[in-house]
Structure 1
Amino acid sequence: QIGLLNAIVTHFGSESQAWITMRGWNNIFLIAILVWLQTGYAMVIISAAIKGVPSSIIEAGRIDGASEMRVIRSIIIPYIYSTLVTVSTTIIIVSLKIFDIVYTMTGGQYGTEVIASMQYKQMFNYYDFGKGSALAIVLVIAVMPVMWYNLRQFNKQEGF
């Protein structure tokens, strides 16, 4: 096994490990990969929303004596709330239907199987299209409340 973590471990005299096969650790590593992938998206969107907050509102808060934390909590966060909801729900939906990271890293082995990888196995390995379709419906049912909440917040913000 090669990699940064194994280089550090072997440098201190221990043996290299197959980290991705270790139950418990493998899920932590998969979560770290997903966080790494989604951080850029979230930061770009949230940064753009923060830059969209009018400086006059922030300045008025500071003139009124608000501390930095108070400005963030009482002015910036309420102003970008709809963006935070959109980013959060998008990341929740991505994490619910995650397939590529699990399939690429472990193939769903070692206790890392998710609904999307079960669906893939049922449909393309076992040719059981009924179970695969049922799992797809379960995934849609899991995603629908999050999408509904996101749309409701968007409509409330836009005044539709």
Structure 2
Amino acid sequence: MEKVFKSIIFMPMAISFVGAGVIWRFIYSYKPAGEDQIGLLNAIVTFFGGEPQAWFTMPVWNNIFLIAILVWLQTGYAMVIISSALKGVPSTIIEAGRIDGAGEFRIIRSIIIPFIAPTLITVSTTIIIITLKIFDIVFTMTNGNYGTEVIASMQYKQMFRFYHYGRGSAIAIVLVLAVIPVMWYNLHQFSKREGF
């Protein structure tokens, strides 16, 4: 049963960001009240007697809906890596902690988390980098409208819509400068663990 659930959670990793954007565009799709709702979310809302919503015009919430797509895509990656790290924790250390009187929360905090900390750092930094350079989802869902602009879509618009190549290049440099500290930290952690 574990393999089935893991496979279901991991499947979105096979979808491109643009493909995920198209899929979720149908889920969040909006039609005015009285029309048949083709969007899953609005279909559920109207089924229970609510009014359909244009989800991406709602400030703050529209960003949360975009974040949900990235979480859906990246959960499988994090699950596979962290799951394998958890299976690598020696059961003898956990049993020794229980014999010494540690409760489950203490075992998690004092044994498991320190043991898998390098894996947590790797997963976290990888997802931070993906988040910093996210473009596809925002571009396919909102095109950066309604307060959902991200740095990569801003760079794209400056270079290819407004033809301000200097501004677009400057934004790209800012993006690189934002990613460098995360990469440096990740590589520093690798070298501490003798990964190189």
| TM-score above 0.5, yes or no | yes
How far did residue 146 of structure 1 move? 0.9
Q: Distance in 1 between matches of 2:193 and 2:121?
A: 11
Per-residue CA deviation, residues 18-72 of structure 1 (Å, 9 max, x unaligned), is: 2122222211101111111111111111011011112222222222222111111
Write the letter of the residue equivalent to 1:150. N
Q: Does 1:152 align with 2:166?
A: no
How far did residue 12 of structure 1 move? 3.0
Question: 1:78-157 counterparts in 2 under 5 A?
Answer: 78-157=114-193
Write the letter of the residue equivalent to 2:71. V
Q: Distance in 1 between matches of 2:51 and 2:94?
A: 54
Q: In the alignment, what sits opposite 2:24?
A: none
Q: Distance in 2 between matches of 1:116 and 1:84?
A: 26
Moved over 4 A (4+): none
How far did residue 106 of structure 1 move? 0.4
Per-residue CA deviation, residues 70-113 of structure 1 (Å, 9 max, x unaligned), is: 11111111111111111111111111111011001101111111
Q: 1:113 to 1:72 in 2, by over 3 A?
A: same
Q: Distance in 2 between matches of 1:56 and 1:13?
A: 55
Q: In the alignment, what sits opposite 1:21?
A: 57
Question: 1:52-67 counterparts in 2 under 5 A?
Answer: 52-67=88-103
What TM-score does the superposition give when structure 1 sets the normalisation length? 0.93
SS of 1:158 mapped into structure 2:
coil
Gaps in structure 2 of 5+ consecutive residues: 1-29, 31-37
Instruction: Give the counterpart of 1:73 among 92, 109, 112.
Output: 109
Identity of aligned residues (%): 79
| Stretch moving more, 93-102 or 8-17 | 8-17
Write the letter of the residue equivalent to 1:119. Q
SS of 1:65 mapped into structure 2:
coil
Q: Does 1:32 align with 2:63?
A: no
SS of 1:154 mapped into structure 2:
helix
Instruction: Give the counterpart of 1:3 among 39, 44, 48.
Output: 39
Q: Distance in 2 between matches of 1:120 and 1:62?
A: 55
SS of 1:86 mapped into structure 2:
helix
